[in-house]
């Protein structure tokens, strides 16, 4: 039965576990370096601090864009400079928050699954106990029936004498 075969080995898989697996796996030094760099850069760029820094950098060129009085240049500055720089970090922060929420849901699901597994194991063990008790009761009932038959035979034998 699946309940008896399934035994938990680890907790829910987290993003850090995936990164660790890539670093500890059979990767080349180049792949390990890329993974480390990608994680560090993502953590740095994917922060609100970086979003604020990017906003300040983008704002440096705002006066020059406004000075042109050219709508296309101003719209271009908003779209290509401000939005791309700032939203990059903000979106990454949002994705990180979403990933953390997903990991929390995964941990909760694992916890719930373990509770259900434990309850199922308990129910199965109770069912085994109930079956054993039923078998004992059947044996006892059969013994009582046999004794009743003996008593009836004795009573019938004494009544006819």
151 within domain boundaries: no
Q: Is residue 123 part of a domain?
A: yes
Q: How far apart are CA 14 and CA 20, in angstroms?
A: 10
Range of the domain at 91: 46-133
pLDDT tier at 18, thresholds 50, 70, 90: low
Q: For the residues of 85-116, what is the DSSP string, one character each?
A: HHHHHHHHHHHHHHHHHHHHHHHHHHHHHHHH
Position 28 in a domain: no
pLDDT at 67 over 90: yes
Angstrom CA distances, 107 to 77, 111, 119, stand at: 43, 6, 18
Residue 112 to residues 19, 59, 126, 140: CA-CA distances in angstroms? 26, 49, 21, 41
Number of domains in the chain: 1
8 lies in some domain: no
Q: Which of 15-19, 65-69, 96-100 is most confident?
A: 65-69
Query: 13-22, 24-33, 64-73, 83-92: which range is least confident on average?
Result: 13-22
Radius of gyration (C-alpha) of the chain in whole angstroms: 37
Q: Can you tell me the mean pLDDT for 135-156?
A: 92
Residue 25 lies in a domain: no
pLDDT value of residue 155 = 86
Q: Please report whether residue 61 resides in a domain.
A: yes
- Which residues are CB-contacts of 79 (< 8 A; sequence separation ≥ 6)? none
Higher pLDDT, 64 or 17: 64
In a domain, 122, yes or no: yes
Q: Is the residue at 79 inside a domain?
A: yes
Q: Is the pLDDT of residue 125 over 90?
A: no
């Amino acid at each position: 039965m699946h309940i008896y075969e399934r035994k938990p080995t680890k907790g829910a898989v987290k993003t850090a576990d995936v990164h660790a697996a890539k670093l500890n796996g059979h990767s080349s030094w180049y792949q390990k370096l890329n993974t480390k760099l990608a994680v560090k850069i993502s953590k740095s760029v994917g922060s609100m601090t970086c979003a604020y820094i990017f906003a300040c950098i983008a704002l440096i060129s705002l006066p020059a864009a406004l000075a042109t009085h050219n709508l296309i240049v101003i719209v271009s500055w908003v779209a290509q400079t401000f939005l791309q720089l700032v939203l990059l970090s903000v979106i990454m922060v949002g994705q990180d928050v979403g990933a953390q929420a997903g990991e929390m849901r995964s941990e909760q699901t694992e916890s719930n699954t373990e509770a259900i597994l434990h309850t199922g194991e308990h129910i199965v063990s109770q069912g085994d106990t109930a079956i054993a008790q039923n078998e004992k009761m059947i044996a006892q009932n059969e013994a009582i029936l046999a004794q009743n038959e003996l008593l009836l035979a004795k009573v019938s034998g004494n009544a006819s004498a």
